[in-house]
Structure 1
């Protein structure tokens, strides 16, 4: 699989992320920003095969909405054995930060839209991180969420938009717009220096490695 750059903005929770991905070598360098509090929260993520490191700054909060205890100003090593299968974090480190592969498997009613575009629907409750009550409360609507995509002239995905506002007007602007570019770009990622890395506290793993409930 080719290396690529990815940029995404999620209307659901104000998350933005961008970075470089080498899915074959399992190398990822990603920066995520969540629009919470006055400052927002920034997460820097580095993956080198099975080694994953994260550094957090800003309004750091748990998935439950409570404040995180003071964190070290260093890279935190995340033990992947403690990451829940099916969480959005698990897909991030699998080289599929927008869960596109899982979405394609759940797609139905796919039709061509112009020379390089496609439209269709998919069951969002099958995606990693969405198996809980957040989407199940929409019943059958959650199983037919519309999307549209674009590919380049080599068939590589360049754009994905998932329109959640079709099942609930509260999801203004849909859930996510993701752009892929710079296929084949060199991906050189350095492991954090030993004196700049510590083991991640349990609260960090819990906050970023759970499915939605």
Structure 2
């Protein structure tokens, strides 16, 4: 048996696919005003009319400016997988903890990735029904941090980190692909975006875009900004397609300017990653 992880990125860990339609529905099947763009009451009870498309789009474009400074915490979730971590550009370091699948899956992975330029390490835990059948599993140094060869992980979205593109989710690229948006409340927005223009974003990949076909040009999303106008949440609404169930891809940001430097693993906890490890992600 051969188990290979292909085209995995920190946010999309499998092909997740969309359906058309912008108006969301709540549990009883009626239209959700926040998604449809109707007048929405604020917390104080007053009503806000949806803003114009241009103003709303500019607000979302501006909301990613702080991300470029590379000092924040983040979470991502989608396709039965989750990731959380921090980016600290001042120290040229980052850390991500990723879970792919669950114990009932054929293969479950927990990865603790640490990047401190110019080095990277990963601790790998395996589970799931087929974990014992992975070729070379006994050589994967489970429980240790494996030091990674940068020449072998360059361009690998699963293992590498580009300090020139510090956002694992690529929200700046996503907002640039917005095709329609309106303000639905205080700091809240809804609309559609063209993910075919966002292949470099970590929260989508080319496999997803190809599977969507024409629907890739009109993907429903919602977004929230914090009181300082910075992006705090973006949700891509992924309806069912083919054999893939409907789901959301959700990204959040917090602690702007207050993230901590990633801590390098101690020398006694580090081994060099073997060939079997790279085979798993080839």
| TM-score category, normalised to shorter length | 0.7 to 0.9
Dislocated runs of 4+, deviation >4 Å: 88-94, 166-169
1:5 equivalent to 2:66? Answer no
Match of 2:256 among 177, 183, 193: 183
CA distance in 1, matches of 2:104, 2:86: 28
- Which structure is richer in relative contact order (CA contacts within 8 A, separation 6 or more)? 2
CA gap 1:88/1:102 in 2 versus in 1, 3 angstroms: farther
Deviation of residue 154 (structure 1)? 1.2
| Alignment match, 1:142 | 216
Deviation of residue 38 (structure 1)? 3.7
| Alignment match, 1:130 | 205
Asked if 2 retains the 8 angstrom alpha-carbon contact of 1:141 and 1:167, the reply is no
RMSD: 3.1
Listed as ranges, the matches of 1:61-80 within 5 Å are: 67=134, 69-70=137-138, 71-72=140-141, 73-80=143-150
Is 104-113 or 28-37 further displaced after alignment? 104-113
Asked if 1 retains the 8 angstrom alpha-carbon contact of 2:116 and 2:262, the reply is yes
Asked if 2 retains the 8 angstrom alpha-carbon contact of 1:151 and 1:159, the reply is yes
Deviation of residue 60 (structure 1)? 7.5
1:172 equivalent to 2:246? Answer yes
CA distance in 2, matches of 1:183, 1:172: 31
Deviation of residue 167 (structure 1)? 5.8
Deviation of residue 166 (structure 1)? 6.6
Deviation of residue 2 (structure 1)? 5.4
CA distance in 1, matches of 2:156, 2:112: 21
For structure 2, list consecutive stretches of 5 or more residues without a partner in the other structure. 1-68
Per-residue CA deviations over 1:172-197 (Å, capped at 9, x if unaligned) read 222x1122122222403222222321
Find the residue that maps to 2:247 and give its secondary structure.
coil
1:82 equivalent to 2:152? Answer yes
Find the residue that maps to 1:163 and give its secondary structure.
strand
CA gap 1:205/1:101 in 2 versus in 1, 3 angstroms: farther
Which protein is richer in strand relative to its size? 1
TM-score (norm 1): 0.78
- Is the radius of gyration larger for structure 1 or structure 2? 2
Deviation of residue 89 (structure 1)? 4.4
Aligned residues: 202
Asked if 2 retains the 8 angstrom alpha-carbon contact of 1:146 and 1:166, the reply is no
Deviation of residue 55 (structure 1)? 0.3
Deviation of residue 152 (structure 1)? 0.9
For structure 1, list consecutive stretches of 5 or more residues without a partner in the other structure. none
Listed as ranges, the matches of 1:1-213 within 5 Å are: 1=69, 3-10=71-78, 12=79, 14-38=80-104, 40-59=108-127, 67=134, 69-70=137-138, 71-72=140-141, 73-83=143-153, 85=155, 87=157, 89-90=159-160, 94-119=165-190, 120-124=192-196, 126-128=198-200, 130-132=205-207, 134-165=208-239, 170-174=244-248, 176-208=249-281
Asked if 2 retains the 8 angstrom alpha-carbon contact of 1:75 and 1:192, the reply is yes
Deviation of residue 107 (structure 1)? 2.8
